[in-house]
Structure 1
């Protein structure tokens, strides 16, 4: 196990695992806390332990972690369809977002950045870059996310004002202000655009639940400067180099 005071090339254990594409840094912390990580045969319980990538053997669940700082990471934009789980494996055997990707990407162990719930659709980023995933999901670095939402019936100016001021959910969660724009109003439905700047679980659904309003559709169309565009549901593409650079710049990488 390396001593960081003697070797400036060492890195934190959780960052080492994340950059090897095993999981996000937060996921690495969980693996370490669960006692599933060893360095040179010794179980470790601190994510902050320093690792020498050239000389230390790191194992996760008994398997050596191959770390190549020169390896190219993968960055994918997926238009997640409804009734698809945002996870690598599902105990209930439902379709996952990884099932929509070619085998070569699945073999590289890409993982989703954040989540879209089972009945929500739209933009989802998947990557092997654990450090970028950690930043994009950390409260300090949350980038604005744009959603198109269709609800049953009208949305009152009073409720819009509450959302834009910062509402409190019935469970007690205090939400940051959400920018709301009416896109269209039909006889029975209203289509709105919502811009969120935090990552509260199922936030939009819980907001409209508290207004006793039924949601018919939630689609994420943008995250930071990355836009879904006209990518069909269930399809994917690799992010452009400019898109990757913009994401990294926005989260301080």
Structure 2
């Protein structure tokens, strides 16, 4: 059975639980090395590929992820649907720690990253439509899978992508709130845009690890709390993806 679905794991998701018949594959790309070898296996009897965005030991910071190589590698292996799992902060009142969201919009605040496959000499220049940055069909399938698996998710929300690796100031989060952002993360872009250039169906599972600065009651964001919240939210991802595959 041909590969269809690939998952890019973010902070806290360096291996995908439940994969069977696992193999590891280093993929050469025109854009350099991927963050980690691609792990291929079966989930719910279906072939799945998994790639750890930050490397398997979280050695690659958000602004140095080779997004082009990662997305290209999954595409070259035959993936047509890609799910990006992202650890994020919550801004909107209903998007607190341990909530899972399936966002539908992005605002890009990053800088200095390679944002397009057009960024090489001789490449075709593509002006892709990015009005809706996440694929409607894959978003709908994820929402249906969540309902089937009994996983509570928030439908929609605007993901504000920041440069990292530092967390944001209160003033920056206040600006993002005024801009209409509901979530803040560091890896949502340019991953989504690169997937669109390759005509992949792409959607995000956003795992809320903490409140954005100034949005919760905490005077300071605790890394211990962030990772504890991530463990709780990350545990829901295999159930959600399994339900997605079982519905195909």
TM-score (norm 1): 0.25
TM-score, with normalisation over the residues of structure 2?
Answer: 0.25
Question: Greater relative contact order (Cα 8 A, min sep 6): structure 1 or 2?
Answer: 2
